[in-house]
């Protein structure tokens, strides 16, 4: 069906088309290239047209992270627009995160005006010469699925629909569109477009039947299979069929450095995050959407153990080097492939006595681990400064089925009891710092009925441009609870030094240059300055009540809140 809409410019036609494509939000960090967009927004607002809603974000890092957060909760791509080359440069870390997390985002940027005069939108500011590059998209090309520069208003529908379809097609990811000011300023009286669009994302695929049957035969004949999973919970519908596969085999599942909730932590075959102690006995390994399921320099499964890798791209073809075995590669949407594998296992001949014994053994190990994790939290509950395990336990105690947890680094997953698909998200495997604050705001925007708790280290908090993030929370009424695990250090840096040189000078002299964050700012005051509630917590006994106070502010007063929790320094 063709639709028509009255517009005055290509910029307005662009907004009209985005609205028609169900893009709800336009995250903007504006510059001189936004002039046609802002003019178009003013006209649309005067006419009562509110979509896509403009969200002002005063820095590119939280802007991209907000779109990322929204997309990871909903699966729907949103638009980010930044200022030409310099805005793109600031946004690059977020684009890398989105690429490695497979988050669909329409990443757009203005382009320095092409002409030096004679056309609407031509250069008229002093920056319009120095800000131009020979190939602006080259800055991001390695990390986006597609890039293009809009050349004519007449190609707008094709360009926008192609961008959105490619961003959503598996493996999903960001695309990049540059928008020259002269093109956005081009006069138009009407836009005509298809609704629904004629360019749809590619449908989900499933691995072929013969390869699924081969994987089922291997697993049915194994004595000690195990599964390692990291990000298949990106699709919440992939959780249930993974449970079905595990149940069919009595197979343990390890969520190693998981970026999503892939398997219920309360399920008796959940075995935490470290499969390495069990590699010696494992005779079949199932890897589900895990880019680095083990570290060959430290430990690996036995070479004779077949490795079955399941994922949209089991070879991780966008990684320059990755040598993990793929004896059987099941490419396709994990929810479909896992369901097909579960069905094949139900048909396969298996010794039920062996499966029952295996299940009983792993369920006993699950109970032992749960008890040990709880005992560890109790053992450190009175430590001062506060132990991160105790802080994590206290956070775990306030989480309910209507809570979304955003974690950038320090939340101890052994203290969680998460079971709801789509309730947990952690940083990208690329780990570009500063993602957590914006992602939490985007998640809250996507699910306003949910409580969003954002757990971040103090280093990640600084990277997240907190003044900009807290301003957005206030300006757009996004009450999120931010919990800072404040150890006054970049602990990841310290751990890297310790593993690199365990008996080296840094360890022996206890000197770690370039890793300390002392003296620490009063982070709670940043939130307070932006209209939120903030509290510094140093007493471990005060943590539970402090969390409850903060949650009341978020849920009842509808204001953002922040706990600056002083933790042990590594």
pLDDT of residue 495: 80
| Cβ proximity of 66 and 434 under 8 Å | no
Cα angle at 225 between 219 and 230, to 5 degrees?
105
Nearest-angstrom CA–CA distance, 493 and 497:
6
Nearest-angstrom CA–CA distance, 60 and 27:
9
What does the block give as tokens for 363? 């369920």
Q: What is the β-pairing status of strands 2-6 and 190-194? A: antiparallel
Task: Read off the DSSP letter of residue 386.
Answer: B
Residue 494 has pLDDT above 80, yes or no: no
* pLDDT tens, residue by residue, 61-96: 999 999 999 999 999 999 999 999 999 999 999 999
Residue 479 CA, distance from chain mean position: 20
Domains of the chain with CATH codes: 2-194 (3.40.50.970), 209-366 (3.40.50.1220), 380-566 (3.40.50.970)
What does the block give as tokens for 335? 């929810």
Residue with token string 């805005």: 87
Angle between helices 35-46 and 10-20 in degrees, nearest 10: 60
* pLDDT tens, residue by residue, 112-156: 999 999 899 889 999 999 999 999 999 999 999 999 999 999 999
pLDDT of residue 83: 97
Q: How many CA atoms lie within 13 A of 251 on its CB side?
A: 30
CA dist list (Å): 455 to 58, 264, 288, 397, 482? 22, 20, 26, 14, 6
* pLDDT tens, residue by residue, 274-286: 999 999 999 999 9
DSSP bridge pairs for 136 = none
Q: What is the β-pairing status of strands 284-288 and 225-229? A: parallel
pLDDT of residue 300: 96
Going by C-alpha positions, the residue among 426, 423, 420 that lies closest to residue 267 is 420
Taking the CA atoms of 204, 209, 214 and 215 in sequence, report the sign of the dihedral they define: positive
Residue 113 CA, distance from chain mean position: 34
* pLDDT tens, residue by residue, 388-438: 999 999 999 999 999 999 999 899 999 999 999 999 999 999 999 999 999
User: Cβ contacts of residue 510 below 8 Å, gap of 6+?
Assistant: none
Reduced to 3 states (helix: H, G, I; strand: E, B; else coil), residue 123 is: coil
pLDDT of residue 514: 83
* pLDDT tens, residue by residue, 162-198: 999 999 999 999 999 999 999 999 999 999 999 999 9
What is the torsion angle, in degrees rounded to the nearest 10, for the CA atoms of residue 306, residue 311, residue 315 and residue 318? Answer: -160
Nearest-angstrom CA–CA distance, 210 and 221:
17
* pLDDT tens, residue by residue, 10-44: 999 999 999 999 999 999 999 999 999 999 999 99
Global pTM reads: 0.96
Give the 3-state DSSP-derived string for 424-459, with helices as H, strands as E and coil as C.
EEECCCCCCCCHHHHHHHHHHHHCCCCEEEEEEEHH
Taking the CA atoms of 375, 376, 377 and 379 in sequence, report the sign of the dihedral they define: positive
| Cβ proximity of 416 and 396 under 8 Å | yes
What does the block give as tokens for 40? 């178009």
What does the block give as tokens for 312? 């949209």
pLDDT of residue 465: 98
Average pLDDT over the chain reads 96
Instruction: Give the helix/strand (H/E) hosting 388.
Output: helix 388-398
- Compute the average pLDDT of residues 250-254: 98
pLDDT of residue 513: 85
């Amino acid at each position: 069906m063709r639709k028509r809409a009255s517009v005055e410019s290509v910029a307005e036609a662009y907004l009209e088309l985005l609205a028609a494509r169900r893009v709800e939000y336009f995250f903007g960090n504006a510059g001189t290239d936004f002039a046609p967009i802002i003019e178009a927004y003013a006209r649309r607002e005067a006419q009562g047209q509110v979509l896509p809603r403009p969200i002002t974000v005063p820095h590119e890092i939280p802007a991209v992270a907000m779109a990322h957060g929204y997309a990871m909760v909903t699966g729907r791509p949103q638009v980010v627009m930044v200022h030409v080359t310099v805005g793109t440069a600031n946004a690059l870390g977020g684009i890398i995160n989105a690429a490695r997390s497979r988050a669909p985002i329409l990443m757009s940027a203005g382009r320095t005006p092409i002409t030096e005069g004679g056309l609407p939108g031509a250069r008229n500011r002093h920056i319009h010469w120095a800000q131009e590059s020979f190939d602006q998209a080259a800055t991001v090309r390695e990390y986006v699925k597609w890039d293009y520069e809009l050349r004519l208003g007449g190609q707008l529908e094709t360009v926008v629909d192609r961008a959105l379809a490619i961003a959503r097609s598996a493996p999903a990811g960001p695309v990049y569109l540059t928008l020259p000011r002269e093109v956005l300023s081009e006069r138009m009286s009407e836009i005509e477009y298809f609704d629904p669009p004629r360019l749809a994302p590619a449908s989900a695929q499933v691995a072929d039947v013969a390869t699924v049957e081969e994987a089922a035969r291997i697993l049915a004949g194994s004595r000690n299979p195990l599964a390692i999973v990291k990000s298949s919970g990106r699709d919440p519908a992939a959780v249930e069929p993974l449970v079905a596969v595990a149940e069919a085999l009595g197979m343990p599942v390890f969520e190693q450095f998981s970026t999503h909730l892939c398997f219920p932590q309360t399920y008796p075959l959940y075995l935490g995050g470290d499969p390495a102690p069990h590699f010696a006995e494992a005779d079949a390994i199932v890897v589900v959407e895990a880019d680095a399921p083990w570290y060959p320099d430290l430990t690996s499964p036995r070479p004779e153990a077949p490795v079955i890798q399941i994922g949209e791209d089991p070879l991780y073809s966008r990684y320059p080097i990755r040598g993990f075995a793929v004896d059987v590669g099941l490419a396709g949407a994990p929810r479909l492939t896992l369901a097909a594998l579960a069905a094949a296992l139900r048909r396969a001949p298996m010794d039920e006595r062996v499966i029952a014994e295996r299940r009983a053994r792993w369920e006993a190990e699950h109970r032992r681990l749960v008890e040990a994790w709880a005992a560890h939290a109790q053992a450190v509950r009175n430590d001062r400064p506060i132990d991160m395990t105790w802080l994590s336990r206290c956070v775990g105690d306030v989480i309910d089925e209507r809570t979304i947890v955003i974690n950038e680094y320090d939340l101890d997953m052994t203290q969680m009891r998460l079971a709801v698909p789509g309730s947990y998200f952690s940083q990208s495997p690329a780990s570009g710092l500063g993602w957590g604050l914006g992602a939490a705001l985007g998640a809250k925007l996507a699910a306003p009925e949910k409580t969003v708790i954002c757990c971040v280290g103090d280093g990640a908090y600084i990277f997240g441009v907190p003044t900009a993030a807290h301003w957005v929370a206030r300006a757009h009424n996004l009450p999120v609870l931010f919990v800072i695990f404040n150890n006054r250090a970049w602990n990841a840096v310290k751990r890297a030094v310790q593993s690199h040189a365990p008996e080296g000078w840094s360890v022996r002299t206890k000197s770690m240059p370039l890793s300390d964050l002392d003296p620490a700012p009063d982070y709670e005051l940043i939130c307070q300055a932006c209209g939120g509630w903030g509290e510094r917590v140093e007493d471990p006994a005060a943590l539970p009540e402090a969390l409850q106070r903060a949650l009341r502010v978020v849920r009842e007063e509808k204001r953002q809140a922040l706990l600056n929790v002083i933790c042990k320094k590594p």
